Copies of this chain bind each other. A is one copy, B any other.
Amino acid sequence: MSTLAAPAIRTLTVELGERSYPIHVGPDLLGNPAHLRPYLAGSQVMIVTNEAVAPLYLDALKRGLGEDLTVRQVILPDGEQTKTLASVERIWDALLEAGFNRRCTLIALGGGVIGDMTGYAAACYQRGVAFIQAPTTLLAQVDSSVGGKTGVNHPRGKNMIGAFWQPRAVLVDTATLKSLPPRELSAGLAEVIKYGLIRDIEFLGWLEANVSALRELDDALLIDAILRSCATKAAIVAEDETEQAVRALLNLGHTFGHAIEAHQGYGVWLHGEAVASGMAMAAALSQRLGWLSGDDVARSEALLRAAGLPTAAPAAMSADDFIARMRLDKKNLDARIRLVLLSALGQACIHDRLPPDELRAFIESYPRA
């Protein structure tokens, strides 16, 4: 499983016409000017990061930028509870204080929270400036790197305020995973597994074979898993950039998962943990509808558990707690709750005709932690 030489940097292009951009994946990318400088819009750069990431990678990133630029930084607190409009205002204040113009570039150095907020700040600063993603968590590397979704949470719901805004480039430095707590690596694997479940049965088999080595940070396998995940997401996003149809399949596990996150309080369960539990719920509900076999469900759950993820729902969460939160989901149109389920293993579908009583009965019967 291990490799002898350091794996080479590999690149995937996200095809979005004039908004196409590259995702570079490999070890030790951050300090390398060749992967940073071509994507700057001008000489003004604002790095946005958090208190956990800054001590680890901020200096390397600055070295990679070089000394002839005007570089400023905003260091926010760590965690999902930071993902607010007030934090984005801090970024805007810093940009204006520095006198940065429309040709500035924002760089998001951190996990998904930093990426989503920085992207949103870039989308709306002077009605839109350039930004680069440098995701340092596996979750952000395989999820927020592709798709252009940016935004912040509102007390009444996750990601309720935001914009679609594409980065100029994404730099996935796999060396950053070495500093990631194992629990967060597992949370990232939830999204990796999701791509297998929704439309890549072959990848699902590959993950079953390699999940332990991935948890042990085998660089070459990580690069494979990240590129395969990003490629699947990129294909779906290219078909449906603004989520009118097929893109909604990427939300497998997220309707239940967002309800769990919101009910527990953001940050108590990690996003990936809530999604893992939500995917297990979606698989079980798909079985109840006759679409998956008991073996399919057992296979899904075994892989999630092998990745170090939960499959049960939170102990303290009632069916009413779930349903109240699910009604607020952005995917819903009119009064119906839209669910992403599995019509087969490796094939997701939308279902918005489930009678409310059946949904409630299913949630009541589902195992709790």
Q: How many copies does the complex hold?
A: 2
A85: which of B89, B97, B123, B128 is its contact (CB, 8 Å)? B89
Provide the bound-state CA to CA distance between A94 and B185, in Å.
Answer: 38
Contact indicator A96/B42 (Cβ below 8 Å): no
Contact A92 B126 (CB under 8 A): no
**Is A27 engaged at the interface, CB distance under 8 Å to the other chain?**
no
Q: Is the CB of A127 within 8 A of B96?
A: no
The count of residues in chain A whose C-beta lies closer than 8 Å to any C-beta of chain B is 38
Contact A151 to B127, CB < 8 A, known contacts A97-B156, A101-B332, A103-B333 = yes
Most chain-B CB neighbours within 10 Å: which of A125, A149, A242?
Answer: A125
Tell whether A163 pairs with B102 under 8 Å between CB atoms, given A89-B85, A154-B92, A333-B42. Answer: no
Asked if A327 and B124 sit within 8 Å, CB to CB, the answer is no
Per-position 1/0 for A120-151, Cβ under 8 A of B: 10011111100000000000000000000111
Q: For residue A168, give the distance in angstroms from its CB to the closest CB of chain B.
A: 15
In the complex, the answer to whether A334 meets B101 with C-beta atoms within 8 Å is yes
B101–A163 touching, CB < 8 Å: no
Given A85-B85, A97-B156, A334-B101, do A92 and B125 touch, yes or no (CB 8 Å)? no
Q: Which of B97, B157, B162 is within 8 Å of A127, CB to CB?
A: B162
A306 an interface residue at 8 Å Cβ cutoff? no
Q: Which residues in B have their C-beta under 8 angstroms from that of A334? A: 42-43, 101, 103
CA distance A159 to B126 in the complex (A): 7
Is the CB–CB distance between A242 and B102 below 8 Å? no
Nearest chain B residue, comparing its CB with the CB of A332: B101
Assess whether A90 is interfacial by the CB under 8 Å rule: no
Given contacts A89-B85, A96-B156, contact A127 B164 (CB under 8 A): yes
Alpha-carbon distance between A101 and B102 when the two chains are bound, in angstroms: 32
